[in-house]
Each structure stands twice: as structure tokens, then as C-alpha cells.
Amino acid sequence: QKEVEQNSGPLSVPEGAIASLNCTYSDRGSQSFFWYRQYSGKSPELIMSIYSNGDKEDGRFTAQLNKASQYVSLLIRDSQPSDSATYLCAVRYSSASKIIFGSGTRLSIRP
């Protein structure tokens, strides 16, 4: 089992719709969870971090965390073509400070 798992996609969503991205992780004690966006040829950039169970909203983005199910998700409302990118889920291990990434989900917003 991979430490951090994501569906590789591509996920195609019409402009203006909600995009839903999912991630599961294996380290039950992990406390810090992140979503990074990576455009083609660029470096990853942080868009959301979440540390507690429940939802965290920032503009059009909502991160959801369920530690009991070891599940993190990212919702993007009112999807725009500029949201087309690869979204990387990252988890900080409980026993150390190392941060492990999933393989990423390619998101495509069609006009």
C-alpha cells in the first residue's frame, strides 16, 4: 500500500462546476495535511493546509479531513480554466517531520 494515495485522473470538470479531489493516507498518527497545485513545468505551490477534523474553507477551495477514515479531500467551487493543473496531496508523518506526497490528480476544466 502506498503511503499517500490519489486517483491519477485525468478528472474532467465543466467550467463553473465543483471539482472534488480525494486522498487517503496510511499513517494513522499523521497530524498535518496539505494540498499543493502544480502547473505543467512549474514547482508545487501550497493552496490549502488542514490539521483538524472537519472542513476548512478559503475562497473557492474547501479542504475536508476525516482522520478516522484517513481521508482528505479538496473541493473547488466555480471551477475555472485556470484551475487546470495537477493537485498533490501531502501528509506530514506523526513520528517525524518528513512530508510524503501522493502521485497527484490531473484536473482539467473544460470551457
Partner 1 sequence: DAGVIQSPRHEVTEMGQEVTLRCKPISGHDYLFWYRQTMMRGLELLIYFNNNVPIDDSGMPEDRFSAKMPNASFSTLKIQPSEPRDSAVYFCASSSPGGQNTGELFFGEGSRLTVL
Binding site for partner 1 (CB under 8 A): 31-32, 34, 36, 42-46, 49, 51, 88, 90, 92, 96-104
Nearer to partner 1, 60 or 92 (CB): 92
User: Is the Cβ–Cβ distance between 63 and 73 less than 8 Å?
Assistant: yes
Provide the minimum distance between the beta carbon of 18 and partner 1 in the complex, in angstroms, as a whole number: 25
At closest approach, how far in Å is the CB of 55 from partner 1?
Answer: 17
| Whole-number Å distance between alpha carbons of 46 and 38 | 9
What would you report as the CA-atom Rg of the chain, rounded to the nearest whole angstrom? Answer: 13
Q: Which three cell numbers stand for residue 28?
A: 494513522
Nearer to partner 1, 75 or 100 (CB): 100
Q: Which residue has the cell 486517483?
A: 7
